[in-house]
Structure 1
């Protein structure tokens, strides 16, 4: 059972968004191809869904500026611009992203008192989103992860998947993801690899899916 997790491909993280990732919109076409041709049994997407007064917003801390490190809940916290606020265009999926095949949308970041980079749990690890239980019930054995941003929400989602779904092979699709800084991306990939995440690209995934279809067809059964 193969699952694709698309992380936070939202207007807020693409050009013109409140927290744009350089080249963020470039992943949309690749994501669409993966959902259509990647041979996945399950497509899941995460969505940042912050209340307007979320504690990670610099605007909620007088004297703070975006991208400064402050505190939230007594722990260090990067202060972000207001982004992906519930019900706003900024929080919507990119308009060119094909959402018609999504089987499950996991919203996150709704607790004003803690940030939530991972699609699986809050940053303090005190509250789960429910995604790990959902995927376990689907009996997936492979989870491919892509989206925005590599050095934050994608990385933490991949690391949590490795820890919370220990029997699942977790892969990071590098060319279907974009990060905030080159150094941050490199460090994130190194950290994921050390944790046992396999790095692939979309061509690998599509070639695998094509091979599986050809094998099934040659065996005389209808392809997926």
Structure 2
């Protein structure tokens, strides 16, 4: 198994490890709690080396378009300033972590982290060219974020043991991984990071 060394222009991007996507949450993703140890190991590695770590989160208004009550596909989730929108208490959050909120307006989709201009600006200021990506859910927010990152010219390493899918259809997660790979993402395990 080939290892991938963390380089000067690398950042770690952790997507939506929030209570509403974890067991007991309003939009719980199956197996979501199982990826937190792998994510925490990556956070420790990047933090030790002083590399940027970004935690992104859905931060929705109560009437967000994606909620079933507004005609959207999802139950209400990750409403700003609620317990469901908080990061998991099990997730490491070093002081240097940068938090990016998305889906903050009623009509904003909130799937891709690059919907927020702030993320790209921070990556550019830090001179980042490679992203290591993990989080939830691999068939929605992770997928859209990775595809946008690739379009913007970033090299992307998807940590496939540190993502989980909603799987509205049983093979959605597998299809998402295939799509990301076909578009240029490299699929590796968190254990391959050195």
TM value normalised by structure 1: 0.77
Task: Please give the per-residue CA displacement for 1:143-181, whole angstroms capped at 9, x wherever unaligned.
Answer: 0000000000011111111112x1x31110000111112
Work out whether 1:45 is the aligned partner of 2:55.
Answer: yes
RMSD: 1.4
Distance 1:169 1:101, change over 3 A: farther
Q: What is the rounded CA distance, in whole Å, between the counterparts of 1:33 and 1:150 in structure 2? A: 19
Residue 104 (structure 1) shift: 1.1
Q: What is the rounded CA distance, in whole Å, between the counterparts of 2:95 and 2:123 in structure 1? A: 17
Gaps of 5+ in 1: 62-77, 122-127, 210-224
Q: Say which of 59, 65, 78 aligns to 1:55.
A: 65
- Structure number, greater radius of gyration: 1
- Structure possessing the higher relative contact order (Cα contacts under 8 Å, 6 or more residues apart): 2
Structure 1 runs, 4 residues or longer, greater than 4 Å off = none
Q: What is the rounded CA distance, in whole Å, between the counterparts of 1:175 and 1:113 in structure 2? A: 32
Q: What is the rounded CA distance, in whole Å, between the counterparts of 2:95 and 2:108 in structure 1? A: 31
Aligned residue in 2 for 1:117? 111
Between the two proteins, the alignment pairs up a number of residues equal to 182
Q: Any idea what SS the aligned residue of 1:150 has?
A: coil
Q: Say which of 164, 173, 185 aligns to 1:197.
A: 185
Aligned residue in 2 for 1:32? 40
Work out whether 1:81 is the aligned partner of 2:75.
Answer: yes
Gaps of 5+ in 2: 1-8
Work out whether 1:107 is the aligned partner of 2:101.
Answer: yes
Which residues of 2 match residues 80-159 of structure 1 at below 5 A? 80-121=74-115, 128-159=116-147
Q: What is the rounded CA distance, in whole Å, between the counterparts of 2:108 and 2:162 in structure 1? A: 28
Residue 101 (structure 1) shift: 4.6
Residue 92 (structure 1) shift: 0.1
